[in-house]
Amino acid sequence: MIQNRELWERCVSFHGHACPGLAIGYRATETAIRELNLKFSKDEEIVCVTENDACGVDAIQVMTGCTFGKGNLIYRGTGKQAFSFFNRRTGDRLRIVFKSDHIGEDTDREARLKYILEAPSEELFDLKQPSFEPPKKARFFRSIVCEVCKESASEHKIRLHEGKKVCLDCFPDYSRGW
């Protein structure tokens, strides 16, 4: 049973539809909030490192205030349904990994959604400690105008090519094979 129907509906509204992936993010975040006693992050008090770029990440944004724009939602592309939450105020941290083996691959979408929303969290997730430190707070960089395309880019993304400051789009790829 969904503990906070209004919050679930806000996640669905933000995402655009209800689906098993959104439910995974919703339940993982619910678990993080409970286990770490998290409050909505107005700045960078909470950090989430998501190991996927799937539907569940939308629930994380709605429920925690972690966003790419604030720099407290970090994408670490392992392809796993795993989310590491860090509370900068307390130093507490938790990695939440979805146990997909409880749901048969041939289970229909609605049954999967219902199961994810209603099953006990300990049946859905393994709780672990992240194997990495929380990312540093977001930094601000100057904008540099690319001398080729004339578009500005953050200075840490500018490269030098033939004596010119160029953006990543204008920087020729260098590869020696492989």
Rg (CA), the chain: 20
Which CATH number belongs to the domain containing residue 154 in this structure? 3.30.60
- Is 172 contained in some domain? yes
Residues 112, 3, 33, 79: what is their CA dihedral angle, to the nearest 10 degrees?
A: 10
pTM score, two decimals? 0.84
Residue 134 lies in a domain: no
What does the pLDDT read at residue 140?
A: 86
Residue range 117-170, pLDDT digits in tens: 999 999 999 999 999 998 888 888 999 999 999 999 999 999 999 999 999 999
Q: Does 30 share its domain with 58?
A: yes
Q: Which residue range is the domain that position 174 belongs to?
A: 140-178
Q: Let me know whether 124 and 175 are in one domain.
A: no
Residue with tokens 């509370």: 87
List C-alpha distances in Å: 90 to 45, 130, 172: 9, 15, 44
Residues 48 and 74 in one domain: yes
Domains held by the chain: number: 2
Does residue 10 fall inside a structural domain? Answer: yes
